């Protein structure tokens, strides 16, 4: 993504007056400030850079009332799963929890979105800047909005930026994020979800690939045999990015920073930590997420004293899908292939307890097959 010069970030395209929906709304009606003051320094007193965050009611609610109401609970705005996960890992000590809350406000809460930060500008977390001269974008552009935040994992996987790996077949079909992740999903439906995989209108492979279990379908046997046993990604993902320990703090100037240890590309099948009616598979792909027991040590020691309650290898849906992959080349490319599975030896000693429910015991690895379907 090309960085924008400071003036480019705030340059308004005069064509906005031709926008039949938004063109008649004066700047100060949303942003505040004094539109008659010729001195820009004083004119900007009280200006809201993003009048749609944290509450978009005044700016968008009059016309987009339903979206506005639901959006408050959309995960992009509420960040609820982040908070719940950290709450679960956090110490029960109230003083420590309060300090952890402050640290999360400083470091984690920055990564949110809003109406404005999808449809008008790049997200704040990547330093903002209008997408197209403040012209309203019905569909947010993928690389300036979606992958601007979801870069190190989704972008690299989807576009095939990891050395030796191919882009997702969906990219090759010219699909953008919104093809699967619809506006309805992004805006939320008013329900408070605890996890992004709980979202009811989130994408499912079978929404498009409806035929895979039908008799006349290619590979019907393979699909039927593996139904509810392995997620689609287990067979169709390529290796993907994994991140390690993220540590946060403030520098001498008081500016917030984060440091992550090296990331690595790998592919690991583990036991499904989020088994449900919607996701009944026994085996899923797991990704190591950038957290460890000392992530918040700068702010307070032992903040995550209940770290072991949740795995640090989490259910993942890598965005680098291919029809043919190394592990689905034939049955025994996967069956009996220990290197594909998350075994105890693959997990760091201090994370073994946290991941005990997702580590695959050797005796659960599917046995090598003598018979193979044609």
Partner 1 sequence: MKYFKVIGVAAAFCLAIILSSTLICHAYEDTQCFQCHTSAKKLIEATREIAKTRPALKSAETSGEG
Q: Which residues bind partner 1 (CB under 8 A)?
A: 5-7, 10-14, 17, 23-24, 26-28, 31, 33-38, 40, 43, 127, 134, 151-152, 241, 243, 246, 249-251, 253, 255-263, 290
Q: Packing angle between helix 80-89 and helix 94-107, nearest 10 degrees?
A: 150
Smaller CB separation from partner 1, 201 or 260: 260
Q: Are 64 and 53 in contact (CB under 8 A)?
A: no
- CB proximity list for 259: less than 8 A, separation 6 or greater: 246, 247, 248, 249
Q: How far is the CB of 243 from partner 1 (least distance, A)?
A: 6
Whole-angstrom CA distances from 209 to 59, 218, 224, 357 are 39, 12, 14, 30
DSSP state of 181: S
120/110 Cα distance (integer angstroms): 18
315 strand-pairing partners: 286
CB-CB neighbours of 122 under 10 Å: 24
Q: Are 18 and 47 in contact (CB under 8 A)?
A: no
122/108 Cα distance (integer angstroms): 18
Q: How far is the CB of 299 from partner 1 (least distance, A)?
A: 15
Expressed in angstroms, the distance from the first to the final Cα of the chain is: 45
Smaller CB separation from partner 1, 40 or 371: 40
Q: How far is the CB of 113 from partner 1 (least distance, A)?
A: 15
Smaller CB separation from partner 1, 75 or 96: 75
Q: How far is the CB of 255 from partner 1 (least distance, A)?
A: 4
Q: How far is the CB of 350 from partner 1 (least distance, A)?
A: 19
Smaller CB separation from partner 1, 42 or 182: 42
302/304 Cα distance (integer angstroms): 5
Smaller CB separation from partner 1, 320 or 327: 320
Query: Which single residue is written with the structure tokens 């959309």?
Result: 74
Q: How far is the CB of 10 from partner 1 (least distance, A)?
A: 6
Q: How far is the CB of 127 from partner 1 (least distance, A)?
A: 8
Smaller CB separation from partner 1, 152 or 219: 152
Smaller CB separation from partner 1, 94 or 262: 262
Q: Are 291 and 312 in contact (CB under 8 A)?
A: yes
């Amino acid at each position: 993504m090309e960085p924008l010069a400071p003036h480019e970030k705030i340059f308004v395209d005069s064509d906005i007056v031709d926008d039949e929906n938004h063109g008649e709304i004066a700047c100060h009606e949303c942003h505040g400030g004094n539109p008659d003051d010729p001195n820009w320094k004083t004119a900007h007193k009280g200006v809201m850079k993003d009048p749609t965050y944290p509450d978009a009611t005044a700016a968008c609610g009059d016309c987009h009332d339903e979206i506005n109401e639901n959006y408050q609970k959309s995960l992009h705005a509420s960040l609820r799963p982040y908070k719940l996960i950290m709450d679960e890992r956090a110490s029960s000590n109230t003083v420590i929890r309060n300090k952890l809350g402050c640290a999360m406000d400083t470091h984690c809460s920055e990564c949110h979105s809003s109406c404005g930060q999808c449809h008008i500008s790049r997200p704040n977390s990547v330093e903002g800047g209008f997408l197209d001269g403040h012209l309203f974008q019905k569909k947010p552009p993928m690389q300036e909005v979606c992958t601007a935040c979801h870069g190190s994992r989704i972008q690299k996987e989807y576009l095939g930026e990891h050395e030796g790996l191919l882009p997702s077949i969906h990219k090759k079909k010219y699909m953008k994020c919104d093809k699967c992740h619809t506006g309805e999903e992004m805006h939320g439906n008013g329900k408070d979800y605890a996890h992004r995989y709980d979202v009811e209108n989130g994408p499912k492979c079978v929404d498009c690939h409806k035929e895979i279990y039908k008799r006349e379908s290619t590979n019907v046997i393979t699909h039927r045999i593996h139904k509810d046993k392995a997620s689609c990604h287990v067979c169709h993902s390529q290796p993907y990015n994994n991140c390690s320990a993220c540590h946060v703090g403030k520098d001498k100037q008081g500016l917030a920073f984060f440091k992550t240890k090296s990331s690595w590309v790998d592919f690991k099948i583990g036991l499904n930590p989020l088994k449900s009616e919607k996701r009944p598979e026994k085996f899923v792909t797991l990704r190591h997420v950038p957290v460890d027991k000392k992530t918040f040590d700068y702010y307070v020691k032992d903040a995550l004293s209940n770290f072991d309650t949740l795995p640090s290898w989490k259910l993942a849906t890598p965005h680098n899908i291919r029809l043919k992959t190394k592990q689905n080349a034939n049955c025994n490319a996967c069956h009996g292939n220990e290197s594909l599975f998350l075994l105890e030896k693959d997990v760091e000693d201090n994370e073994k307890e946290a991941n005990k429910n997702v580590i695959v015991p050797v005796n659960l690895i599917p046995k090598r097959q003598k018979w193979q379907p044609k």
